[in-house]
Amino acid sequence: MTTPIATDAMYRNDEGMGIWEHRGKVAAVGVGHAPTARRWDGRPETCVGAISIQALRQAIADAGVAPDQIDGLVVVRETTTGAFWEEGKPLPMDVIQSFQQTDDPLDGIAKLSAEWLLANMPELSNVKFTMYGPGCMSNALNVTAQAVGDGLAHTCLVVKSWHNFEGRYYQGGANAGDALPGTPAITQLWGGPASYSTALQFAEYCRKYGKTHEMMAPFMENSRRNGLRFPEGYWAQHRPEELGPEDYLASRWIAKPANLFDNDIPIMMSGAYLFSTAERAADMKQKPVYILNHASSNTRPRSLLPTLDEVEDDTARTGRKIYEGAGITADDLSFENMYDGFSLFHQFHLEGLGFRGIKFGEALDFYATDISIEGPNPVSPSGGNVGSGRSRVWMHTDCIQQLQGRAGERQVTGVTPEVAVSGGPMPLGGNFTVWSASPD
Amino acid sequence: MQRDTPVQAGGGLRGKRGYDGALVQEEYVTVLISFDIDGTLEVGDPPGPLTMDMVRLVRDKGFLIGSCSDRTLSGQRGIWATHEIEVDFVVSKHMLPDVKAKFEADTYVHIGDREDLDRQYALKAGFDFLWPDEAVAHDYFQPAP
C-alpha cells in the first residue's frame, strides 16, 4: 500500500465547527518511548527506524493489545528539522542491510516511512490503514484521533521519531547549497538562527508589555525540574542538570533575546501511542484517556515572519477552537502543557488559552507564582523540550500519563488531573489535542 | 569545586634571554588555561582527548585553570566537584573576556574543539588557542622534569 499524507479533511481548522463529532469516543491507552541519545552512534540497533520499532512495541505492550489486533498506523515521516545526511557521504550499508528495505536507502536512518515500519514489524499483520501526519506528533495525533473516530481504524498506532547526526544542526541539507527557491532563500539561507523569528516576537512582547527576558527564568527552572522527573527524557537519562536562574541567564545569545537554553537540544528519540475506540479501550491494560477534541491552526502570516499581533490573534483563535470543539472552558483545564521548543513562545500559547484567566502580557508575571506540579497552577508539567530535549512529544505523553495517574515523580499533586490540552509547535500553524480522564 | 582565590598564581619557569640570545635568567610565569568540555575533555559529550589527570597535572603545576563551556555553570561546577579538581573559574562560552579581566596571567590559553565557538571566541578575547589534540602534545601537559 502507498501511504497518503493527511488531507485537510482530517483536521479541524476553523471556528464555528461545533462540538467534535467523536468527542469522548476515541481514547489513548498505550505509551511507548525508546531510550534517547544525543546523536546516532552508527549502530543498526540505534538508528531512527530501530528506536521507532522499540517505541511502537512498548506502546503495544503497554496497552496490552495483541499486535494482530492493530489495524492502523499513523507516522510522521520527517525525523529531523536540521540534521541531514550529507550529500556524497557513503551510505551505511551494514545498517541498511540489517533491515527490510524500501526504495529509499535512508529510510529508517534519516526518515521513516510507514512501509519501512510495516516491513520490519511483521507482527503488525493486520494493518489496513496508514497515513502520514506531517512534521510533528501534534499533527499526527489529530490525524489518529480523526481516523479512529471516522472508523478508518479501530486500534491505531502513532509514532514520531527524531534522529540526530554528527555535525552542526541546520547547516546541511538545502541550507548547505548556494541557492534556495522562494521564501526560504530569505528566511533560511540568508536568515538568522531558527529561533530568530520567535526572538523578534518576544522582543516586541517585552517592549509592548514592559517585561524582560530575565522573567523567563522561573519557567525555565520549573521546566527542567519537571524534565528531570521524566525518566523517558534526555536530560533525565544522560545529564541530570538543573537549570537555575544563574545558569539560564549566564548563557550566550543565539538570537538576542533568545539565548542558548531558549533553544532546545537536538536528540535521538522516538515516542509512540496506541489509540482505540472508547469501547475497545475500556478492556485494555491501561486506563483510557479520552479525546474531547482536536484543533488546528493553518493561519499564514501576512509577510515573512508572524508579527506579535498576528501571533496573539491566532493563539486566541486556537484557544476558542480548542474549547468550542471540546465543549469546555479554560476553567476546566487541570494544568497547561503546550509546546515550548522555543521557550520564548510558550507564553503565547498559554495566554491564548487564557489558562487560569491570564491575559496577553501577563504570562511572565504568572511564571513568578507557583507554577510547580505541586501547586494549584501547574505550567508545563511535562517539562517540554526544555526539560527533556527536542521531540515535540513530551507534552502529549505527559497529558496521557497525568490523566492515567502514572506520571510518577512528575504527577501533579496540587490539582486533580481531569482535563488537559497539549499541542504545537508554533503559535501559528499548530495542532492541538484535548484529553480527558472521562469521556463526558 | 571552585577555588576562592588562586592558590598559587604561577605556571612555571620561563627562560629570559639577553640581547645576544644567551640565557641570562629564568622568571616565573603565570599560565591560565580555559578548558572547553564537550569534545575536549574525556568527560565531555562527545569525549575529548584531554584526561582529567592532565587537568590535575597543570593544576598541580600551579596554572590557573577553569572551564568555558555551553554547559550550565552549575553543571560545570558539578563536573569539577565529581572529579575533585579545584578550579579558579567556570564561565559560559562567551565569557572569556571576563576571565581575562579577572585574572592576571602572562599567558592565556583556551583549549576547545570548535572553530566558531572556541577558536574564534578565544582569539577575539586575546587568548592563545589550542585544539585538543595539539594540547595533549603540548609541554603544558608533560610532567615537570
Tens-place pLDDT, residues A34-55: 999 999 999 999 999 999 999 9
Q: Which residues of A touch B77 (CB under 8 A)?
A: none
Of residues A38, A243, A261, nearest to B45 (C-beta): A38
What's residue B5's pLDDT? Answer: 46
List the single residue in B with minimal CA-CA distance to A259.
B70
Do B75 and A247 count as a contact with CB atoms less than 8 A apart? yes
Cis-peptide, bond into residue A245, ω within 30° of zero: no
Q: Which residues of B touch A243 (CB under 8 A)?
A: 72
Summarize the confidence of residues A374-380 as an average pLDDT: 98
Backbone conformation region of residue A210, classed left if phi is above 0, alpha if psi is from -120 to 50, else beta: left
**Alpha-carbon distance A237 to nearest alpha carbon in chain B (angstroms):** 14
Estimate the share of chain B in helix, then strand, then coil, as percent rounded to the nearest 5: 30, 30, 40
Summarize the confidence of residues A137-143 as an average pLDDT: 98
Q: How far is CA B91 from CA A424, B63, B64, B66, B99, in A?
A: 34, 17, 14, 8, 8
List the single residue in A with minimal CA-CA distance to B72.
A247
Sign (positive or negative) of CA dihedral B89, B90, B94, B95 = negative
| Contact between residue A145 and residue A29 where contact means Cβ atoms under 8 Å apart | no
Collapsing DSSP to helix, strand or coil, B31 comes out as: strand
> Which residues of B lie inside 8 Å of A (Cβ-Cβ)?
45-46, 70-75, 78, 91-95
Do A252 and B75 count as a contact with CB atoms less than 8 A apart? no
Of residues A39, A247, A252, nearest to B72 (C-beta): A247
pLDDT tens per residue across span A389-436: 999 999 999 999 999 999 999 999 999 999 999 999 999 999 999 999
- The answer on pLDDT for B28 being more than 80 is no
Of residues A239, A243, A250, nearest to B92 (C-beta): A250
| Contact between residue A343 and residue A220 where contact means Cβ atoms under 8 Å apart | yes
The residues with which B68 forms a beta bridge, in sequence order, are B91
What's residue B19's pLDDT? Answer: 57
Pairing between β-strand A26-33 and β-strand A289-296 as defined by DSSP bridges: antiparallel
Do A252 and B94 count as a contact with CB atoms less than 8 A apart? yes
Class of domain A14-168+266-281: alpha beta
**Alpha-carbon distance B126 to nearest alpha carbon in chain A (angstroms):** 19
Q: Residue B8 — very low, low, confident or very high, per pLDDT cuts 50/70/90? A: very low
Average pLDDT of every residue of chain A: 96
Do A252 and B72 count as a contact with CB atoms less than 8 A apart? no
Mutation for B interface: A254, A260, A268, most B CBs within 10 A: A260
Mutation for B interface: A39, A169, A170, A252, most B CBs within 10 A: A252
What's residue A226's pLDDT? Answer: 98
List the single residue in B with minimal CA-CA distance to A250.
B92
Mutation for A interface: B2, B37, B70, B72, most A CBs within 10 A: B72
- The answer on pLDDT for A22 being more than 90 is yes
Collapsing DSSP to helix, strand or coil, A229 comes out as: coil
Do A242 and B95 count as a contact with CB atoms less than 8 A apart? no
Q: Which residues of A303-319 are buried (b: 16+ CB within 10 A; e: fewer)?
A: eebbebebbbbbbbbbb
Distance CA A46, CA B88 (A): 40
pLDDT tens per residue across span B40-98: 999 999 999 999 999 999 999 999 999 999 999 999 999 999 999 999 999 999 999 99
Distance CA B5, CA A38 (A): 36
| Contact between residue A271 and residue A144 where contact means Cβ atoms under 8 Å apart | no
Of residues A247, A253, A260, nearest to B74 (C-beta): A247
| Between B119 and A304, residue with greater pLDDT | B119
Do A252 and B92 count as a contact with CB atoms less than 8 A apart? yes
pLDDT tens per residue across span A198-238: 999 999 999 999 999 999 999 999 999 999 999 999 999 99
Do B45 and A239 count as a contact with CB atoms less than 8 A apart? yes
**Alpha-carbon distance B76 to nearest alpha carbon in chain A (angstroms):** 10
Of residues B46, B71, B74, nearest to A244 (C-beta): B74
Delineate the domains of chain B, giving CATH numbers in brackets.
11-141 (3.40.50.1000)
**Alpha-carbon distance B45 to nearest alpha carbon in chain A (angstroms):** 8
Q: Which residues of B touch A242 (CB under 8 A)?
A: 72, 74
Secondary structure letter of residue A285 according to DSSP? S
What's residue B13's pLDDT? Answer: 52
Collapsing DSSP to helix, strand or coil, A423 comes out as: strand
Sign (positive or negative) of CA dihedral A248, A251, A257, A258 = negative
Q: Which residues of A touch B44 (CB under 8 A)?
A: none
Task: Pick the closest to residue A364 from A385, A379, A382 (CA basis).
Answer: A379
Torsion of CA A145, A149, A151, A154, to 10 degrees: 60
Q: Which residues of A touch B71 (CB under 8 A)?
A: 241
What's residue A186's pLDDT? Answer: 78
**Cell 534522529 sits at which residue?**
A163
pLDDT tens per residue across span A328-350: 999 999 999 999 999 999 999 99
Q: Residue B26 — very low, low, confident or very high, per pLDDT cuts 50/70/90? A: low
pLDDT tens per residue across span A62-101: 999 999 999 999 999 999 999 999 888 999 999 999 999 9
Do A241 and B72 count as a contact with CB atoms less than 8 A apart? yes
- The answer on pLDDT for A239 being more than 90 is yes
Q: How far is CA A326 from CA A88, A249, A322, A439, B41, in A?
A: 50, 39, 6, 11, 52
The residues with which A32 forms a beta bridge, in sequence order, are A272
Distance CA A171, CA A154 (A): 42
Residues 214-273 of A with CB under 8 A from B: 238-239, 241-244, 246-248, 250-253, 260-261
List the single residue in B with minimal CA-CA distance to A247.
B72
Q: Which residues of B touch A38 (CB under 8 A)?
A: 45
- The answer on pLDDT for A376 being more than 80 is yes
Per-domain boundaries in chain A: 14-168+266-281
- The answer on pLDDT for A262 being more than 50 is yes
**Alpha-carbon distance A247 to nearest alpha carbon in chain B (angstroms):** 5
Cβ-based neighbour number of residue A378 at 10 Å: 28
What's residue B7's pLDDT? Answer: 41
Torsion of CA A429, A430, A431, A436, to 10 degrees: -140
What's residue A187's pLDDT? Answer: 76
Summarize the confidence of residues A153-174 as an average pLDDT: 92
Q: Which residues of A touch B75 (CB under 8 A)?
A: 239, 241, 247
Q: Residue A169 — very low, low, confident or very high, per pLDDT cuts 50/70/90? A: confident
What's residue A178's pLDDT? Answer: 79
**Alpha-carbon distance A390 to nearest alpha carbon in chain B (angstroms):** 17
